[in-house]
Homo-oligomer: A and B are copies of this chain.
Amino acid sequence: MSDVKQVVIIGGVAAGPKVASRIIRLAPDAEVTIVEKGKLLSYAGCGLPYYVSGVVKEQAELMSTPVGVVRDPVFFRQVKNVHVMNQTEAVQVDRAGKRVEVRDASGGRSWLPYDKLVFATGATPVVPPIPNVHLENILTLHGVHDAEQIKTLLSEHKARDVVVVGGGLIGVEATEALVQCGCRVTIVEMLPQILGMLDSEIARLVEQHMESHGVKVLTGTKVQAFEGQGRVQAVVTDRGKLPAEMVIAAVGVRPAVGLARAAGLEIGTTGAIQVDPRMRTSDPDIYASGDCVECVDLLTGKPCFVPLGSTANKQGRVAANNICGLDDTFPGVLGSTVCKVFDYCVARTGLTETAATQQGYDPVVALAPAADRAHYMPTAKPLLLKIVVDRNSRRLLGVQATGPGAGDKRIDVAAMAITAGMTVDQLAQVDLCYAPPYASAMDNLITAANVARNKLDGLMTGVSARDVNRLLQDGADFVLLDVRSPAEYGQVRLPHSTLIPLGKLRSRLDELPRDKPIVAFCQISLRGYEASLILKAAGFKDVRVLDGGVAMWPFEKIAP
């Protein structure tokens, strides 16, 4: 254990307190000081949407330990033996003199000496450069103060028409919270889809789910200006004007690196502080952790900026370990993310199909919609999985999940498979636990792996909903063959589809043209796959299977 004496930590929300607590455990005699600009410490920023919606009742719950003790400066002093200077800003770092100048609430300045310094300065929300962005009631959802302002607008000013600018994670979480408070919410997203962490057709499924909860989702739409007298009254977009009593600007966050940059520390290509796997910056006595640092993408080896509370906590522990002389490294991230969107669990890890292609992989995808546990259990819910596999190595590259089923579980399992470098052949054989209340005998992820193996082995030729939709729009001459039951066909069908139930297919082969492409499908495309095998065995040449079937078709459907 090194004889670390004085440690100064700049930032007291997530990574900072973690670094402090761990150092005090490893080196009880160290003098650890947290310098925090704001009033509040160690609060769960990720919980803010649930405080806005009222799911979390009290602000204090977000800054309490699991047994209900509020983490304030007195707690840190008495329980942790950590000195906290809140409402105090670090203004400059004198690296040669190993000291930090701070300014307290009253404007008083002083210098804090350090043996080791830690940047845990986090990230700040981007304020979009849009005319009139500083009108009242245009807010972000980043700190507790933002959440309180939103709650006040809702309760005292009865704000109901809300525009959320930006369809990323925060925008989507804020939307759900506001809808639950009774607001009419429109999301305006500049890109062609919300949730850029997903492939477009998966994002489209999420958009449809949000629309089913009354949210207006305007993708490919640009905000041109805000209008209002003092407070915002409307949002002007390139597709028209939207009334707005409140606007949530959720266009992303930027690492807070001003002080680090001024101190001459290396800043990475992503704009965040560059650190080595021991969380050390370019100055060996200065560490950094949390939302202000750059990570390594475990799959591509490239730098990335993925600010998350989970990563901040792990990095904080690694920084503290190294400061105290324990060797520890943080290897990187997979971009594992999960988000509750009304009744859907939306989650992902690794590379999307789009990202895999951009990175030079030859991706094979498999879509697997199925119940998330034994289908006969009343608690079973649909879960839609998309997995992305490298054709050459057969390794799993990424998984996306959406739907009401337990997607978080499968994404965590997938993250383990990717971390371990598993092929889909290995993934198909893993011993996941099974009982009807929790899983199917063939877990969703194992089924997805097997679908991918069928494709890799040339047993199945898939075609994406995107491509089939394009063929339909182009009026292409092909057979879109639905092999479900007449009852299923009666409920909902795809445009221009032909019904021949799988059980009748062998006896009705002569109804199908041999000179046209055939795209077979069913609800989830298992029967579609079986149909394609029957057709191929019967000599049909151009037979493909619609990836994901009706369950994952994100375009127009006909409900007679």
Residues of A whose CB lies within 8 Å of any CB of B are: 14, 25-26, 28-29, 44, 46-47, 50, 55-56, 61-62, 64, 66-67, 69, 75, 78-81, 173, 298, 308-314, 317-318, 326, 328-340, 345, 347-349, 370-371, 374-378, 406, 408-409, 411-413, 415-417, 419-420, 422, 425-426, 428-439, 441-443, 446, 450, 457, 459, 484-485, 488, 502-504, 506, 522-524, 527, 529-530, 533-534, 537
Contacts of A436 in B (CB 8 A): 44, 46-47, 50
Given contact pairs A334-B431, A348-B433, a sample of 17 additional A-B residue pairs in the complex whose CB atoms are under 8 Å apart: A28-B533, A79-B527, A173-B435, A310-B432, A310-B441, A310-B442, A326-B457, A329-B429, A330-B429, A331-B429, A335-B431, A339-B435, A347-B433, A408-B433, A412-B432, A413-B416, A419-B430
CB pair A459 B310 closer than 8 Å: no
> A338-B433, A415-B433 are contacts. A438–B67 as well, Cβ < 8 Å?
no
Contacts of A80 in B (CB 8 A): 530
Contacts of A55 in B (CB 8 A): 377-378
Of B415, B457, B485, B503, which is within 8 A of A432 by CB?
B415
CB A306 to nearest CB in B, in angstroms, measures 9
Contacts of A329 in B (CB 8 A): 429
Contacts of A62 in B (CB 8 A): 376
CB pair B67 A485 closer than 8 Å: yes
Most chain B CB within 10 A, of A332, A434, A534, is at A434
CB pair A79 B503 closer than 8 Å: yes
Contacts of A419 in B (CB 8 A): 420, 426, 430-431
Contacts of A50 in B (CB 8 A): 376-377, 436-437
- Total identical chains: 2
Contacts of A377 in B (CB 8 A): 47, 50, 55-56
CB A234 to nearest CB in B, in angstroms, measures 32
Show 9 residue pairs from A and B whose CB-CB distance is below 8 angstroms, ordered by the A residue.
Answer: A29-B537, A56-B378, A66-B371, A66-B523, A78-B506, A79-B527, A310-B432, A347-B433, A416-B417
CB pair A25 B413 closer than 8 Å: no
CB A438 to nearest CB in B, in angstroms, measures 4
CB pair A530 B339 closer than 8 Å: no
Of B314, B431, B537, which is within 8 A of A428 by CB?
B314
7 shortest A-B CB distances, which residue pairs?
A416-B416, A420-B420, A310-B434, A28-B537, A338-B433, A61-B376, A409-B409
CB A538 to nearest CB in B, in angstroms, measures 9
CB pair B28 A437 closer than 8 Å: no
CB A439 to nearest CB in B, in angstroms, measures 7
CB pair B459 A433 closer than 8 Å: no
Contacts of A338 in B (CB 8 A): 433-435, 438-439
CA A507 to CA B338, docked complex, whole Å: 44
CA A310 to CA B328, docked complex, whole Å: 38
CA A326 to CA B425, docked complex, whole Å: 12
Contacts of A78 in B (CB 8 A): 503-504, 506
CB pair B46 A314 closer than 8 Å: no
Contacts of A345 in B (CB 8 A): 438
CB A531 to nearest CB in B, in angstroms, measures 10
